[in-house]
């Protein structure tokens, strides 16, 4: 598959071209991960493991959301 182009809207939205959606096996409601690897952006489908890790990370970092220890 050659390069595929998508145009961004003024709101920063993109439509993932059908050949890419088919290759990634994504559909409405699925999440995509955008990862910067030394200047190249990698797009991949978010796996179930990623989702669990993200929830765990959010819960852990949520402990730091308050301002009580900002001056320590």
Q: Which residue carries 């990370």 as its tokens? A: 57
Which structural domain, as residue segments, surrounds residue 29? 18-62
34 in any annotated domain? yes
51 in any annotated domain? yes
37 in any annotated domain? yes
68 in any annotated domain? no
Count of domains in the chain?
1
Compute the mean pLDDT over every residue in the chain, rounded to the nearest whole number. Answer: 84
Question: Per-residue pLDDT for 36 more than 90?
Answer: yes
3 in any annotated domain? no
32 in any annotated domain? yes
Q: For the chain, first and last CA: distance in Å?
A: 53
What's the pTM?
0.57
54 in any annotated domain? yes
Q: What does the pLDDT average to over 38-66?
A: 79
As a dihedral over the C-alpha atoms of residue 52, residue 55, residue 60, residue 66, rounded to 10 degrees, the angle is 180
Q: What does the pLDDT average to over 55-71?
A: 72
Which residues, other chains included, contact 36 with Cβ-Cβ below 8 Å and sequence gap of 6+?
A: 42
71 in any annotated domain? no
């Amino acid at each position: 598959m050659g390069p595929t182009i998508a145009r961004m809207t003024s709101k920063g939205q993109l439509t993932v071209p059908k050949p890419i959606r088919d290759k990634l096996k994504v559909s409405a409601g699925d999440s995509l991960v955008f990862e910067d690897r030394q200047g190249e952006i990698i797009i991949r489908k978010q796996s179930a493991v990623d989702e669990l890790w993200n929830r765990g990370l959010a819960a852990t970092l949520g402990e730091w959301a308050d301002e009580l220890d900002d001056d320590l």
